[in-house]
Amino acid sequence: MVYSFLRPLFFALDPEHAHHLSINALKLLQTSQRRPTPAFSHQRLAQDLWGLRFPNPVGLAAGYDKNAVVPLVWSTLGFGFAELGTITAQAQPGNPKPRIFRLAQDRALINRLGFNNDGARAIAQRLPSLLSPQSSRPIPLGFNIGKSKITPLSDAVADYLESCKKLLPFTDYLVVNVSSPNTPALRKLQEAERLGRLLEALLASMRQFAETEHTSSKPLLVKIAPDLDTAAIEEIAQLALSVGVSGLIATNTTVERSGLRAGSPETGGLSGHPLATRARAVLRTAYRAVEGRLPIIGVGGIFSAEEAYERICAGASLVQIYTGLIYEGPFLAQRIVRGLVRIVEREGLPHLRDVVGRDV
């Protein structure tokens, strides 16, 4: 209710300026905490995946905390995990401003930020003050890595490897972003041959790190686009199984504009409610293709517990939100988690995982 009164004030600001204000507010909250707050958990929601304990299935999607400046605040807001980035090997300013646009009538955003971030080296140098490799943390934290804009596709593997090596000591899981529409030619890395080379190189590097550190190898996930056809989704899913990837994330933002109430001339990736139907369809296809053998994170247009539950029934072991925070406020994750508790109790489910893929 409070946010419903404050939202017009935020929406009067430029979207990117409003975002920076929210990050600064979260910095203050993080600094004021004597220790990270445990995330809300429930025995019917908590689960172990990839050797990690998820207190609840609702996570922060990549794109909000691009420079990993507030990694320890997300559990306070109710999240069960958080994904930081996207981070590239080279620091880059991103695309020219303005580059974020609200479509309030559609409860959507268009962004063409272009992986603006401080670069893997600078971010890794800051992280020890927040996240020592051995530090305990209330929720799993993932890092999402992408290709630097200046790096040609022919050198993409080396570019991703540089980010991987810098960030691996601090992450609980790593995500390969080959699906953003805002870096030229990036989505070509979803082609099976290119993607296979990239994944095999990253997995080899991660195994080498694990051997050096005398620990188990960390999970590697692939984030896919909603604009792929069925054959391409199935091909990526089979590739993920064959090379040993730990999971998929479905989906990134879309370049499609069908179904919008208010048209927009702006280019970039569309997120929010208009993406939900397609994101759910891609999730179903991916779940069928991996035959339930790989966990999938569902993301795209989730604004409520009911929508999160639908996504889980469609094959998601975990879900993520971002655009919903802009329209529903910072405590959306808490509301979704509490709503999921009510749903599983109403349905008489021993555990939420019992319905993963039920409707596929």
- pLDDT value for 133: 61
Residue 131: the pLDDT is 87
- For residue 212, how many C-alpha atoms fall within 13 Å in the half-sphere facing its CB? 9
Q: Is residue 273 part of a domain?
A: yes
pTM of the model: 0.97
- Spatial separation of the C-alpha atoms in residues 153 and 256, rounded to whole Å: 24
Query: Can you give the pLDDT at residue 135?
Result: 64
How many domains does the chain fold into? 1
Return the CATH number at 294: 3.20.20.70
- pLDDT of the residue at 239: 98
> Which pLDDT score is estimated for 44?
98
* Residue 226 forms part of a structural domain: yes
Give me the catalytic one of 41, 75, 179, 180. Answer: 180
Q: Is residue 360 in some structural domain? A: no
Residues 6+ apart with CB under 8 A from 2: 329
pLDDT score recorded for residue 1: 67
Instruction: Examine residue 119 and state whether it is found in any structural domain, yes or no.
Output: yes
Separation of alpha carbons 16 and 316, rounded Å:
30
Residue 180 annotated in active site: yes
Strand partners, 82: 60, 141
Per-10-residue mean pLDDT of the chain, 360 residues long, equals 85 97 96 89 97 98 98 96 98 98 97 98 95 79 98 98 97 98 97 98 98 96 98 98 98 95 93 98 98 97 98 98 97 97 98 98
∠ CA 42-310-108, nearest 5°, is 105
Range of the domain at 177: 2-355
Q: Is 301 exposed, middle or buried (0-12, 13-18, 19+ CB in 10 A)?
A: buried
